[in-house]
């Protein structure tokens, strides 16, 4: 396949005329305000700051003027909606999941900004859904992998939003880039870049850890994987943020049309790269792999864009938010930070614990293609099913003291963050390696890095991450 200028122009016009991106949703709250409740072993829950006010920016709203969180145990069970964006922009969802795990682990929400959906909140129930692709589909045409419904006239097919056999065929095309031998070859480059990033940080001054470290390291790696122009690498971060954003006031894009425009810019840029590489011998980057793969070289522009977005978001969000999450966790648990400094051989275990504790993607969605029973509840064909990885990773029936951050757990890789079954994260070892390398380099240089103030959270029930986190390296 080669997208020439005429083909790409026609595709852009058709998409612009016939489709809008994922529907923006109203932010809903209106919950009764009561006292802050403590989650077992997890300390006080962060405060809920209430619904967005006119002119308020959801991306920057601070918890400094917070009012008490709505008590998750004071509202009717059937009224719980863990998809409420306000809970995610304030990190206030924990007690809601705690209650669902204990009282209604397979829970039906009949009314939300994203429509009705089932919540699967316990570890083993999530595994049961994740590994049963015969009953629970990821197909984009049925809804895809996120709680937000894709419009029927704008489907971005990607291999994670496909069922076998097409899923398996396309996944095999890109999986060699994260094969063990290739990862070993990349480690030196990752280490040298991590070292340069850390050596350029200011000492004794406050800076944004998300921007200076987490985004920069992961974006440099993404540019390498795609062989994308290095000087334009921050476009990858921008496209990733737009792709995973739910449009609304104060968001990175506020309307469906704005989101569509940005995604078309992404498609146009990657089409140029595709056309360059399809006409030369296969190289080792992801674009070349897709251009020459037997099952991907004839993709439509929409499918090409879908797979590009998948690879950008997958390569960006897990590592970026886990790097920030690790610094936050180690500061919240200073005894674990001291343990790590005393024994750097714990870094690999700390990395796995961070990925569990952080859970950088809060959920994956499936659609039931038949009536099926889970946890004593009958899920009907066509129902939306949300596997809340963030809840399963705090299931105390499987993980001991799950709300605590313990870097030397007996089984640190026992978590749901990478998924299970055929859709298990293809780049999980690369993510782990980047976290391991950055912390090996940190401990060589700095006895301690402090967080300053509270983070700003991504206002999304899908990407569980950070917009910013101020930090300081003591002089």
pLDDT in tens, the chain (475 residues): 333 332 333 333 333 333 333 223 222 323 222 222 223 333 323 322 333 332 333 333 333 334 345 689 999 999 999 999 999 989 999 999 999 999 999 999 999 999 999 999 999 999 999 999 889 998 877 888 889 886 654 556 554 545 556 555 555 556 655 667 767 777 888 899 999 999 999 999 999 999 999 999 999 988 888 889 999 999 999 998 888 887 888 888 888 888 888 988 998 999 999 899 988 888 878 888 888 887 777 778 887 888 888 888 877 788 899 999 999 999 999 999 999 999 999 999 999 999 999 999 999 999 999 999 999 999 999 999 999 999 999 999 999 999 999 999 999 989 998 887 665 666 677 778 889 999 999 999 999 999 999 999 999 999 999 999 999 999 9
The reply to whether 99 falls in a domain is no
Give the HSE-up count for residue 230: Cα atoms under 13 Å, Cβ half-sphere.
5
Cross-strand partners of 466:
457
Query: Checking phi first, is residue 22 left (phi over 0); if not, alpha (psi -120 to 50) or beta?
Result: beta
Q: How many domains does the structure of the chain reveal?
A: 1
Range of the domain at 210: 5-24+106-472
Q: pTM value? A: 0.80
The reply to whether 275 falls in a domain is yes
Report whether 16 contacts 260 (CB < 8 A). Answer: yes
Q: What are phi and psi of 207, to 5 degrees?
A: -145, 165
Cross-strand partners of 447:
none
The reply to whether 31 falls in a domain is no
The reply to whether 101 falls in a domain is no
The reply to whether 342 falls in a domain is yes
Task: Give the sign of the dihedral formed by CA 414, CA 420, CA 421, CA 424.
Answer: negative
Buried residues in 348-375 as b, exposed as e (16+ CB within 10 A):
bbbbbbbbbbbbbbbbbbbbbbeebebb
Q: Roughly how many angstroms between the first and final C-alpha of the chain, as a whole number?
A: 56
The reply to whether 80 falls in a domain is no
pLDDT for 382: 96
The reply to whether 355 falls in a domain is yes
The reply to whether 190 falls in a domain is yes
| CATH number of the domain residue 325 falls in | 1.10.630.10
């Amino acid at each position: 396949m080669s997208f020439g200028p005429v083909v790409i122009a026609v595709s852009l016009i058709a998409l612009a005329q016939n489709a809008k991106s994922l529907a923006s949703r109203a932010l809903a709250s209106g919950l009764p305000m009561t006292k802050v409740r403590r989650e077992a072993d997890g300390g006080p829950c962060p405060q809920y700051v209430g619904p967005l006010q006119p002119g308020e920016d959801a991306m920057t709203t601070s918890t400094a003027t917070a009012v008490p969180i709505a008590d998750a145990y004071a509202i009717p069970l059937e009224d719980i909606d863990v998809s409420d964006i306000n809970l995610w922009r304030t990190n206030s969802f924990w007690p809601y999941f705690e209650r669902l795990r204990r009282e209604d682990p397979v829970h039906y929400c009949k009314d939300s900004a994203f429509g009705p959906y089932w919540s699967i909140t316990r570890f083993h129930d999530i595994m049961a859904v994740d590994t049963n692709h015969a009953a629970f589909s990821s197909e984009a045409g049925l809804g895809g992998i996120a709680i937000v419904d894709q419009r029927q006239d704008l489907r971005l097919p990607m291999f994670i939003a496909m069922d076998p056999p097409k899923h398996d065929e396309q996944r095999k095309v890109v999986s060699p880039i994260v094969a063990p031998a290739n990862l070993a070859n990349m480690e030196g480059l990752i280490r040298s870049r991590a070292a340069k990033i850390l050596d350029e940080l200011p000492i004794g001054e406050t800076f944004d850890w998300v921007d200076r470290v987490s985004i920069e390291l992961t974006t440099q790696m993404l540019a390498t994987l795609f062989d994308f122009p290095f000087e334009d690498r921050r476009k990858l971060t921008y496209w990733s943020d737009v792709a995973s954003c739910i449009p609304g006031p104060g968001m990175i894009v506020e309307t469906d049309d704005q989101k569509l425009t940005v995604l078309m810019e992404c498609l146009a840029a990657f089409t140029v790269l595709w056309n360059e590489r399809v006409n030369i011998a296969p190289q080792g980057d992801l674009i070349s792999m897709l251009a020459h793969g037997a099952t991907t070289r004839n993709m439509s522009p929409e499918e090409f864009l879908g797979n590009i977005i998948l690879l950008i978001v997958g390569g960006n969000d897990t590592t970026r938010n886990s790097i920030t999450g690790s610094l936050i966790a180690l500061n919240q648990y200073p005894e674990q930070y001291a343990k790590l400094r005393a024994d750097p051989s714990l870094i690999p275990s700390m990395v796995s614990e961070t990925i569990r504790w952080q859970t950088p993607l809060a959920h994956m969605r499936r659609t039931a293609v038949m009536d099926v029973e889970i946890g004593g509840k009958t899920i009907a064909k066509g129902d939306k099913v949300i596997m809340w990885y963030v809840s399963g990773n705090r299931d105390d029936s499987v993980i001991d003291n799950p709300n605590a951050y313990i870097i030397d757990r007996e089984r640190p890789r026992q978590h749901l963050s990478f998924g299970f079954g055929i859709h298990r994260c293809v780049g999980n070892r690369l993510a782990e390696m980047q976290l391991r390398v950055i912390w090996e380099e940190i401990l060589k240089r700095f006895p301690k890095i402090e967080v300053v103030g509270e983070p700003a959270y991504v206002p999304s029930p899908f990407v569980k991450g950070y917009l910013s986190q101020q930090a300081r390296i003591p002089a």
